[in-house]
């Protein structure tokens, strides 16, 4: 009796395994691997982004793929752990026609990049300017962090002039005490100096802090006019909530970087975030929701359209970039000869590709690893994220820093 149960179990498991393996050999297929963090520090960003990527590929495959080639999406939860990320890459490295490794989370990207380069594939990572400074097989999704900071400096200067004030504005910076938090100023600081904006000493707090009053009080004492808050949402929201409590939001204009509050985040704390300006390289708020591609959110049963996180569209943007590269590569060499090296060459030729307006035109080229150059400014007004500018080309701050 017991043996019977066990053998049934084994047969069942084998069946499941076969089910999962069979589709891999049935047709022409390429693989897109995402080493993401679904259950740890930056899950808020990773989960919706990968949903977008997956849904776009599903849609694409349902329509017959790219010239008959289907795209297989594999999302692995690395839990922001480098060892896991490396192990996952090694496990999936032999997948049929693996072309792109999207490493969400810079430490994992950095650890995987040499392996990926050895296998002649490409890695996609968030926005560290380092990868623009040292050209290699690592591409970033949008403009570098320091570029977005530089664009904010420009915006501050014009705002300062608009308000009819004289002298130079003083800008404060507050973020996590970790590599990501410090990346903005590597180049951003030099840009501010170049533009004659004085930076107050930057403030760094440990991730997971309960109270940020200390840092904000100190910035306020330094008499800053503007404060740039780093961190992946909801950290910036919590910082600004503390500022709101201290009454600083009335006198100081706050900025968030592109991982700052999404419209879901602003919905949670509308009055604290009122008036905050967000520098973003992708569509936010209703801009994103009214985009035709946002329909995929409801189509694939992710929930109501009001609950769509705008980061969802970044995922689609990655998918579209990959689609464009795949199409170009298939035209040039065909499915048989398609490999990582070809994709690497193709990614460098993607300059100017449009991604349905979800972000600025693609800026990948032999000398550029930036996914796009443009940023757009959004402001929180009555709990909504509203666009207040057109696409603006972000200045190049990476080249100002010695990496």
Partner 1 sequence: MRPCGTFDERYSQDMAILRIKRHWAVLIGALILLYTFPLYGSYYFISLINSLSITIIIVLGLQLVSGYCGQISFGQAAFMAVGAYTSAILTGKLGVSFFIALPLSGMVSGLIGLGGGAPSLRIKGFYLAMATIAIHFVVMWLILHLQITGTTQGLHPPAPRMAGFEFDSDEKIYYIIVTVMLLMTYGARNIVRTRVGRAFVAIRDNDLAAEVMGIELYRYKLLAFFISCFYAGIAGSLWAHWIQMVHPEQFTLLHALNYIGMLIVGGGGSIPGVFFGVLFLRLLDEGVMFIAPILSSVFPWIGIHPAASMSVSVFGIVLILFLIFEPRGLAHRWEIFKASYRLYPFSH
Partner 2 sequence: MKEFFQLAIPGLMVGSLYALVAAAIVLVYKSTRVVSLAHGQLLAFGGLFFWIGLVALDLPLPLSVLMTLACSIWMGWLVERITLRPLIGQPLISAFLMTFAIFMALDGIFQLILKGESKTYATRLALGELDILGVPVRVVQLISFGVVLLVFLSLALFFRHTKTGLGMRATAEDHQLSQSTGINVRTIFSLIWIISATVASIAGMGTAYVMDIHFPLPYIGIKGLIVALFGGLDSLTGALFAGLILGVLENLIAGYLDPLVGGGLKDVAAYALLLIILLVKPYGLFGLKRIERV
Q: Does 310 bind partner 2 (CB under 8 A)?
A: no
Task: Please list, in sequence order, all residues whose beta carbon lies within 8 angstroms of the beta carbon of residue 100, skipping any fewer than 6 positions away.
Answer: 32, 33, 121, 122, 123, 124, 322, 343
CA distance linking residue 221 with residue 350, whole number of Å: 47
Ranges within 202-241 binding partner 2 (CB under 8 A)? 202-211, 213-215, 217-218, 233-234, 237-238, 241
CA distance linking residue 57 with residue 320, whole number of Å: 9
Residue closer to partner 1 (CB basis): 319 or 362 = 319
Q: Which of 204, 232, 228, 237 is nearest to 146 (CA)?
A: 228
| DSSP H stretches of helix in 246-373 | 263-268, 270-273, 285-289, 295-299, 311-333, 340-347
Letters for 164-193 (x = contact with partner 2 by CB under 8 A, - = none) are -------------x----------------
Beta bridge partners of 393: 374
Shortest Å distance, C-beta 355 to partner 1: 22
> Collapsing DSSP states into helix, strand and coil, what is residue 387?
strand
Distance from the Cα of residue 25 to its chain's centroid? 32
Q: Please give the full DSSP string across 230-267, using - where no structure is assigned.
A: -SSTTHHHHHHHHHHHTTGGGTSEEEE-TTS--HHHHH
Q: Which does 241 bind (CB under 5 to 8 A by kind): partner 2, partner 1, none?
A: partner 2
Rule CB under 8 A: choose which of 270, 275, 352, 366 binds partner 2: 270
Rule CB under 8 A: choose which of 34, 44, 123, 249 binds partner 2: 44
Q: Which does 238 bind (CB under 5 to 8 A by kind): partner 1, partner 2, none?
A: partner 2
Q: Which of 127, 116, 242, 237 is nearest to 179 (CA)?
A: 127
Q: Which does 74 bind (CB under 5 to 8 A by kind): partner 2, partner 1, none?
A: partner 1
Q: Which residues form the interface with partner 1 (CB under 8 A)?
A: 16-17, 19-20, 23, 38-39, 43, 47, 50-51, 54, 74-84, 86-88, 90-91, 93-94, 107, 110-111, 114, 118, 130, 177-179, 182-183
Q: Please answer whether residues 140 and 131 qualify as being in contact, where contact means their C-beta atoms are separated by less than 8 angstroms.
A: yes
Q: What is the DSSP secondary structure assignment for residue 397, as one 8-state letter?
A: -
Residue closer to partner 2 (CB basis): 241 or 284 = 241
CA distance linking residue 42 with residue 8, whole number of Å: 41
Residue closer to partner 2 (CB basis): 190 or 203 = 203
| Environment class of 345 (CB within 10 Å of its CB; exposed 0-12, middle 13-18, buried 19+) | middle
Shortest Å distance, C-beta 40 to partner 2: 6
Q: Does 264 bind partner 2 (CB under 8 A)?
A: yes
Q: Which does 310 bind (CB under 5 to 8 A by kind): partner 2, partner 1, none?
A: none
CA distance linking residue 152 with residue 157, whole number of Å: 9
Q: Does 83 bind partner 2 (CB under 8 A)?
A: no
Q: Which two tokens stand for residue 30?
A: 């390429």
How many residues bind to partner 2 according to rule CB under 8 A? 42
Shortest Å distance, C-beta 52 to partner 2: 13
Q: Which does 44 bind (CB under 5 to 8 A by kind): partner 2, partner 1, none?
A: partner 2
> Collapsing DSSP states into helix, strand and coil, what is residue 361?
coil
Q: Which of 403, 322, 316, 296 is nearest to 124 (CA)?
A: 322
Letters for 86-115 (x = contact with partner 2 by CB under 8 A, - = none) are ------------------------------
Shortest Å distance, C-beta 294 to partner 2: 17
Shortest Å distance, C-beta 178 to partner 2: 9
Q: Does 247 bind partner 2 (CB under 8 A)?
A: yes
Residue closer to partner 1 (CB basis): 121 or 363 = 121
Q: Which does 264 bind (CB under 5 to 8 A by kind): partner 1, partner 2, none?
A: partner 2
Q: Does 274 bind partner 2 (CB under 8 A)?
A: no
Strands 253-256 and 277-280: parallel
The long-range contacts involving 326-335, CB below 8 angstroms and separated by at least 24 positions, are: 326/30, 326/66, 326/69, 326/71, 326/99, 327/66, 327/67, 330/66, 330/67, 330/69, 331/67, 335/28, 335/69
Q: Which residues bind partner 2 (CB under 8 A)?
A: 38-41, 43-48, 177, 201-211, 213-215, 217-218, 233-234, 237-238, 241, 245-247, 264-265, 268-271, 309
């Amino acid at each position: 009796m017991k043996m019977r149960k066990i053998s049934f179990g084994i047969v069942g498991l084998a069946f499941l395994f076969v089910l999962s393996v069979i589709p891999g050999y049935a047709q022409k297929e390429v693989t897109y691997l995402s080493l993401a963090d679904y259950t740890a520090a930056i899950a808020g960003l990773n989960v919706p982004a990968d949903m977008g990527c997956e849904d776009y590929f599903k849609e694409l495959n349902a329509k017959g793929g790219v010239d008959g080639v289907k795209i297989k999406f594999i999302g692995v939860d690395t839990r922001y752990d480098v060892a896991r990320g490396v192990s996952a890459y090694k496990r999936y490295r032999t997948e049929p026609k693996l072309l792109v490794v999207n490493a969400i989370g810079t430490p994992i990207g950095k650890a995987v990049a040499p392996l990926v380069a050895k296998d002649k594939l490409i890695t996609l990572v968030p926005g560290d300017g380092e990868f623009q400074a040292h050209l290699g097989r690592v591409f970033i999704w949008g403009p570098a962090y320091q570029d977005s900071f530089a664009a904010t400096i420009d915006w501050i200067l014009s705002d300062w002039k608009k308000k009819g004030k004289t002298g130079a504005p003083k800008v404060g910076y507050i973020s996590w005490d970790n590599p990501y938090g410090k990346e903005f100023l590597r180049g951003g600081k030099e840009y501010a100096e170049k533009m004659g904006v004085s930076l107050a000493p930057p403030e760094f707090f440990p991730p997971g802090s309960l109270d940020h009053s200390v840092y904000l009080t100190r910035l306020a004492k330094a008499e800053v006019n503007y404060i740039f808050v780093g961190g992946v949402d909801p950290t910036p929201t919590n910082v600004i909530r503390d500022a709101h409590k201290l009454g600083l939001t009335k006198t100081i204009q706050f900025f968030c970087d592109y991982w700052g509050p999404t419209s879901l985040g602003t919905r949670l704390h509308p009055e604290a975030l009122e008036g905050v300006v967000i520098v973003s390289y992708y569509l936010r708020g209703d801009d994103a929701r009214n985009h035709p591609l946002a329909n995929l959110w409801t189509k694939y049963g992710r929930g109501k359209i009001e609950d769509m996180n705008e980061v969802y569209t970044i995922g689609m943007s990655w998918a579209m970039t990959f689609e464009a590269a795949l199409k170009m590569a298939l035209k040039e060499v065909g499915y048989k000869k398609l490999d990582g090296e070809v994709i690497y060459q193709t990614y460098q030729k993607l300059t100017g590709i449009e991604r349905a307006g979800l972000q600025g035109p693609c800026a990948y080229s032999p000398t550029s690893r930036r996914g796009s150059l443009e940023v757009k400014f959004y402001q929180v007004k009555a709990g909504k994220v509203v666009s207040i500018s057109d696409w603006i080309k972000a200045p190049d701050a990476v080249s100002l820093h010695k990496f």
